[in-house]
Structure formats: structure tokens, C-alpha cells
Amino acid sequence: MAPKKAADILKFFPGELQAGVAYRLANTTKTHPDAIKEIARVLKKKYEQRDRSEYSEAGGAEALANILNHMDKSQEENILKELEANSPELAKQVKEKLYTFEDVLGLDQKEMRILINRIGDDNCLSIALRGAGDELRNHFLSAMSRNRATEILDMMEVRGKLTLREIGDARNVIVNLVRELEEEGTIFVKKDGEEYI
């Protein structure tokens, strides 16, 4: 293989592997042609996949929020407190991504009633529940009076088409209320995989 081509291939390896590959190359005297062909085939395949695949973010507010969602509440709070001291704007972005509309499934009936009373606006509720799964919709509706649930279902039925943005905005209002109520200590969002007593 031409040195230029070998150098180009070596550049694809992470820095810590480049030295190891170079060392092995320097200590190799003879290589079977079939082995070289197989290595070339694998490298070509990896290179082609790299070009076609989408790149994902390694970090950012959303990545940190996803990590925090899998940590204990106390660890989450400590990290957010430290983040708030160092970068208030980033802490705000992480908090916005930390809670999702589906998190209300972690609230018990009493907490749901508190949330629904704080929302107060049936119009907001009817928009937010548009397109929500049965479990989520029933979680809201079962925490309110039969009359109010019927009114919200009627509002959902007669309302025309909504944009995803309108639905997202209504859900964000509710998510922000969930965050506020949890910060007040009025409700407690339970996460999957955590044990509660």
C-alpha cells in the first residue's frame, strides 16, 4: 500500500489507537495478501457506513437531561445546583429538557388533581391532550370530575385541526407547572427504575 494512502487510513483511527497501529505496522515484516484484502474490505465498509450514517450529538443540554433522568433525585439536584452556579443559562436549558409531558404518568391521583387545579385552563388541557396516548389521556381525565372530563373531551372533539406547535406550547405550559410544583415540594415526579417508600 502506498504510504500516502496508509497515512490517510491511519488518520481515521482515534489518536490513542494511531500509535498502536503504527507500532504494529512497524513490527510487521510479512503479511498474507488475503489478510490485507480482508482489512481493506473492513476499512472500506466502515468508511462507507461513516459517510452514510447520521452523526449524533455527544453532549449538550438534552444529552445531560437524559443522563440526569437516570440518576437519583439527590444527585440530579446537586448537579443542577452546581450547573446553576457556573452557567445559569445552561442550567435553564437542561431543566427545560429534564421534564417531559409524559412525566405526569409518575404522579399519583392526588398530585394529578393538584396539577389540574393549578392548570385551571380547560382549553390548555384539551389542546395538550390532543394526540396523547390513551394511558396519558386517561391519567388526566380520571383525576378530575366526570363533568369536567366530559367537557374536555367535548372540546377536543369539536376543535378543528391543531398544529404540532400549538400542542407543544400547551404541553410546555403543563410541563413548566409540573417543574414549579415539584420545586415547591407540592408534588413529586417519580421516575422509572427508582424505588419509593
**Are 73 and 129 members of one domain?**
no
pLDDT at 81: 84
pLDDT at 105: 92
Torsion of Cα atoms, 158 then 163 then 166 then 171, to 10°: 90
Q: Which three cell numbers stand for residue 64?
A: 445531560
CATH of the domain at 197: 1.10.220.30
88-98 and 61-68 are packed helices; what angle lies between their axes, rounded to 10 degrees? Answer: 60
State the pTM of this model: 0.60
Question: How does pLDDT run across 8-22, given as a tens digit for each residue?
Answer: 676 666 766 755 655
Residue 56 neighbours by CB under 8 Å, 6+ apart: none
Please say whether the beta carbons of 175 and 183 come within 8 A.
Answer: no
**Are 121 and 180 members of one domain?**
yes
Please say whether the beta carbons of 124 and 177 come within 8 A.
Answer: no
Question: How does pLDDT run across 115-158, given as a tens digit for each residue?
Answer: 999 998 999 999 999 999 999 999 999 999 999 999 999 999 99
Domain count of the fold of the chain: 3
pLDDT at 67: 75
CATH of the domain at 67: 1.20.5
Report residues of the chain scoring pLDDT below 50.
Answer: 53, 55-56
